[in-house]
């Protein structure tokens, strides 16, 4: 059985103030201990968030390098496409190479950046986060414009499609395309031109642009020109991200 003792009565003002002071000191100690525990907990959350953001940064840096390569490659394809259309109009020999509109790109991750906002952990990061915030905003801007540009270009290139086209959108082809994209991203630009040309040729449009009407040629040519302008803007986003990464190696 719990033995409960009746507290000693306070007989003097001195005893009363000592009693109150004891309670106040106890409260301060309890609050101090609680704040100390919270401080170390918040510091642990901050260190964990920094580590996760650095890992996400490394992944996004690889994605950005690939997007630079793929967008520059896409510009070359679009310029050859325009040259092919011009040769068709003039009835002159077409330049060698396939007619390509496919624009490969890698997604930027933002799970960790979003999570530290949703959980409130961002409040425990005392450093200047504006460079990181700018980078994620620029990555979002890249993906938004890339999605819109790709959709517009693919719709315009739909005039090259017909009911006789072979079935190329399969799981096996999707897997092969994914493997190739990863191979390029992991290669650090070490793949030979022959390998790249061979792999990209698989994305060639199945239709023959020489069968298009003059009006269809006009529409497709305009879409290619707009896509080239979009690619210039996309490369600017990528270079801004790359500059941000180089200037802020620890963020």
pTM of the model: 0.81
User: pLDDT per residue over 114-168, tens digit each?
Assistant: 999 888 888 888 788 899 999 999 999 999 999 999 999 999 999 998 777 777 7
Q: Return the pLDDT at 19.
A: 67
Share of the chain above pLDDT 90, in %: 52
- Mean pLDDT, the chain, integer: 85
Residue 228 clears pLDDT 90, i.e. is over it? yes
Share of the chain above pLDDT 70, in %: 85
- The CA distance from 162 to 222, in Å, is 21
- The CA distance from 71 to 239, in Å, is 12
Are 112 and 222 contacting, i.e. CB atoms less than 8 angstroms apart? no
**Count of alpha carbons within 13 angstroms of residue 13, beta-carbon side:** 0
- The CA distance from 43 to 55, in Å, is 19
Are 62 and 38 contacting, i.e. CB atoms less than 8 angstroms apart? no
CA nearest to 223, candidates 141, 103, 88, 138: 103
Give domain limits for the chain: 13-247
- The CA distance from 84 to 209, in Å, is 8
Residue 1 clears pLDDT 50, i.e. is over it? no
- The CA distance from 243 to 68, in Å, is 13
CA nearest to 152, candidates 224, 235, 70, 71: 224
Higher pLDDT: 171 or 56? It is 56
Q: Which two tokens stand for residue 44?
A: 């642990």
Which stretch of 60-64, 85-89, 191-195 has the lowest confidence by average pLDDT? 191-195
Higher pLDDT: 174 or 53? It is 53
- The CA distance from 122 to 130, in Å, is 12
């Amino acid at each position: 059985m719990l033995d409960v003792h009746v507290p000693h009565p306070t007989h003097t003002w001195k005893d009363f103030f000592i009693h109150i002071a004891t309670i106040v000191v106890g409260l301060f100690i309890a609050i101090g201990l609680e704040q100390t525990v919270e401080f170390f907990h918040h510091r642990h959350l901050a260190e964990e968030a920094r580590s996760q953001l650095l890992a996400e940064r490394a992944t996004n840096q690889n994605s950005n390098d690939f997007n630079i390569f793929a967008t520059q490659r896409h510009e070359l394809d679009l310029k050859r496409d325009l040259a092919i259309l011009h040769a068709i109009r003039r009835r002159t020999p077409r330049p060698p190479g396939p007619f390509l509109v496919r624009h490969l790109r890698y997604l930027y991750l933002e799970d960790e950046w979003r999570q530290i906002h949703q959980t409130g952990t961002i409040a425990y990061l005392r450093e200047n986060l504006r460079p990181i915030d700018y980078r994620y905003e620029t990555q979002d801007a890249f993906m938004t414009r890339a999605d819109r540009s790709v959709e517009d270009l693919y719709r315009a290139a739909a005039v090259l499609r017909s009911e006789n086209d072979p079935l190329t959108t399969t799981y096996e082809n999707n897997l092969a395309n994914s493997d190739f994209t990863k191979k390029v991203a992991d290669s650090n630009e070490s793949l030979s031109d022959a390998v790249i040309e061979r792999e990209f040729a698989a994305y060639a449009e199945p239709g023959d642009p020489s069968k298009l009407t003059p009006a269809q040629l006009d529409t497709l040519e305009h879409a290619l020109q707009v896509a080239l302008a979009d690619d210039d803007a996309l490369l600017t986003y990528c270079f801004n991200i790359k500059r941000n990464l180089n200037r802020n190696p620890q963020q």
